[in-house]
Amino acid sequence: MTQSTPANLDAFWMPFTANRQFKAQPRMLVSAQGMYYQSDDGRSIIDGTAGLWCTNAGHGRTEITQAVSKQIQELDFAPTFQMGHPLAFELANRLIKHTPEGINKVFFTNSGSESVDTALKIALAYHKARGESSRTRLIGREKGYHGTGFGGISVGGLGNNRKGFGPLLSGVDHLKHAWTPGTEFTKGLPKEGAHLADELESMVALHGAETIAAVIVEPIAGSGGVWMPPQGYLKRLCEITKKYGILLILDEVITGYGRIGDAFAATHFNVTPDIITTAKGLTNGAVPMGAVFISDNIHQAFMSGPEEVIELFHGYTYSGHPVSAAAAIAALDTYEQEGLFNKAKQLGGYFEEQLHNLREFDVVKDIRNYGLVGAIEFKSTDKFGERGYKVFEHCFWHGNALVRCTADTIALSPPLILEKEHINELMNALHCAIRSLN
Ligand code: PMP
């Protein structure tokens, strides 16, 4: 079913969008099924990005639709402040079956940004609860993206997301991002670069471990340009944090729920952080929800006061919303029944091969991939981001494909239900689009 474009696009101030440019030639999606969107001009557009890294089980899943509609009729809303409803508990119990050992507590949010701010607050409050109130410093990483809350942009490492918004949180430092020149066109994880984690040792020397609360990184940095962790980097970072009593927060908002071949990057890379932040794929993108996974250790530190006292003064009206919880349980059923967390392992090799064929073009500066995540970076022209945007537009209008551009990098993160022919279709669109640049 298609609808026509609304006559007036003025009122909606679109997020992270060049509004005037968009509204001059709007790209409108009106329905979706499986691997495809439908545009308002009646075209089928292959989804190369799972929406925004969300719809891992593909679009229009009837299991989720039915669970949501049943839940709205049965219990549309119930508070989780001093009240409970069964689904939030059921979902938490289901989710911790997939988390690393020792991480068995779940705090629900509505988005990745809220998950990040929740994680940072829990980290600070944890140290305070243990009598280490001097641990207030937070450490992020250059090019890191952790959503748009004030906590998230403070630890985030993207200038444009920070510059316009005042002094941000104080006492924040940033590690160098984990990419080394000379690793261009690596298939999978770069061999070089684990030593970059040692910079945390320098920060400890500079600030004192007793001032550092937590380090937050994305296992694969997405929005900052899609950067893979060098082999051994995350393990090394984890070891250093443990050595100094610093908490490690892995922001798995994009890697969570199967993107690289396991439920979480933490288990995939055999790294046990203290906190994991997620959202997006939790409900297959169908309704907003986020989940923060917290170690039993951290949780325990909050449980020693009098029973009648609230342990953590934090939460959201919609934490564990029944409709979102129903969607997440249905999404989890689908992921588990269809073995989708494993899909990146099955198709990752083919995806990698096809992606790296794009190297034939002279304008391509680098290609990066892992699991079902891919990136093509172009040599920049005088106008930064021009090539990325042109390829994105060409794919949409002429290749009938949705890809994502962040500056001069095209990011790919297709739904995990895809098959080889979908990969071919995406690559054809990209070939044509890149050829049009020359
Ligand atoms: N963290 C990471 C790693 C993300 O990729 C994103 C969103 N792309 C967020 C946090 C923020 O999520 P949201 O947009 O749902 O607030």
ipTM: 0.99
* Same domain, yes or no: 353 and 272: no
* Same domain, yes or no: 323 and 287: yes
Tens-place pLDDT, residues 203-254: 999 999 999 999 999 999 999 999 999 999 999 999 999 999 999 999 999 9
The parent domain of residue 253 ranges over 65-337
**Ligand 1 centroid from CA 148, angstroms:** 8
* Same domain, yes or no: 316 and 180: yes
* Same domain, yes or no: 290 and 389: no
Question: Rounded to an integer, what distance in angstroms lies between the CA atom of residue 386 and that of residue 391?
Answer: 9
Q: Parallel, antiparallel, or unpaired for β 36-39 and 29-33?
A: antiparallel
Tell the residue number behind the tokens 């091969």, with chain if given: 353
Task: State whether the beta carbon of 354 lies less than 6 angstroms from ligand 1.
Answer: no
* Same domain, yes or no: 250 and 365: no
DSSP bridge partners of 412: 374
**Ligand 1 centroid from CA 108, angstroms:** 15
Which ligand 1 atom sits closest to the C-alpha of 144?
A: 3
Q: Would 301 be classed as within a structural domain?
A: yes
Provide the number of structural domains found in the chain: 2
Question: Rounded to an integer, what distance in angstroms lies between the CA atom of residue 355 and that of residue 216?
Answer: 29
Residue ID of nearest Cα to ligand 1 atom 12: 112
Task: State whether the beta carbon of 253 lies less than 6 angstroms from ligand 1.
Answer: yes
Question: Rounded to an integer, what distance in angstroms lies between the CA atom of residue 238 and that of residue 104?
Answer: 19
Nearest residue to 155 via CA among 136, 165, 169: 169
The pLDDT value given to residue 18: 95
Task: State whether the beta carbon of 376 lies less than 6 angstroms from ligand 1.
Answer: no
Q: The tokens of 245 are what?
A: 């009593």
Of the candidates 303, 337, 371, which is a domain's last residue?
337
Query: For the chain, how are helix, strand and coil distributed in percent, rounded to 5?
Result: 40, 15, 45
Q: Are the C-beta atoms of 212 and 178 separated by less than 8 Å?
A: no
Q: Would 4 be classed as within a structural domain?
A: no
Task: State whether the beta carbon of 219 lies less than 6 angstroms from ligand 1.
Answer: no
The pLDDT value given to residue 3: 57
- Domain CATH code at residue 108: 3.40.640.10
Task: State whether the beta carbon of 116 lies less than 6 angstroms from ligand 1.
Answer: yes
Q: Parallel, antiparallel, or unpaired for β 247-251 and 275-278?
A: parallel
With the most atoms of ligand 1 within 8 angstroms of its CB, the residue from 54, 56, 108, 145 to mutate is: 145
Of the candidates 337, 352, 379, which is a domain's last residue?
337
- Domain CATH code at residue 43: 3.90.1150.10
The sheet carrying 409-412 orders its strands as 364-370, 373-378, 409-412, 404-406
Task: State whether the beta carbon of 417 lies less than 6 angstroms from ligand 1.
Answer: no
Can you say whether the dihedral through the CA atoms of 404, 267, 172, 113 is positive or negative?
Answer: positive
**Ligand 1 centroid from CA 279, angstroms:** 8
* Same domain, yes or no: 396 and 322: no
Nearest residue to 108 via CA among 280, 274, 318: 318
* Same domain, yes or no: 417 and 370: yes
Name residue 33's amino acid.
Q
DSSP state of 63: H
**Ligand 1 centroid from CA 252, angstroms:** 9
Residue 312: Cβ-neighbour burial (10 angstroms; 0-12, 13-18, 19+): middle
Tens-place pLDDT, residues 267-277: 999 999 999 99
Q: Would 10 be classed as within a structural domain?
A: no
* Same domain, yes or no: 169 and 274: yes
* Same domain, yes or no: 80 and 214: yes
pTM, two decimals, is: 0.98
Which ligand 1 atom sits closest to the C-alpha of 112?
A: 12
The pLDDT value given to residue 7: 76
Task: State whether the beta carbon of 254 lies less than 6 angstroms from ligand 1.
Answer: yes
Task: State whether the beta carbon of 230 lies less than 6 angstroms from ligand 1.
Answer: no
Nearest residue to 68 via CA among 328, 329, 323: 323
The Cα-based distances of 310 to 305, 314, 315 in angstroms read: 9, 10, 11
- DSSP E strands, 319-393: 364-370, 373-378
Q: Parallel, antiparallel, or unpaired for β 29-33 and 137-141?
A: unpaired
The pLDDT value given to residue 4: 62
Of the candidates 300, 316, 337, which is a domain's last residue?
337
| Regions of the chain short of the pLDDT cut 70 | 1-5, 438
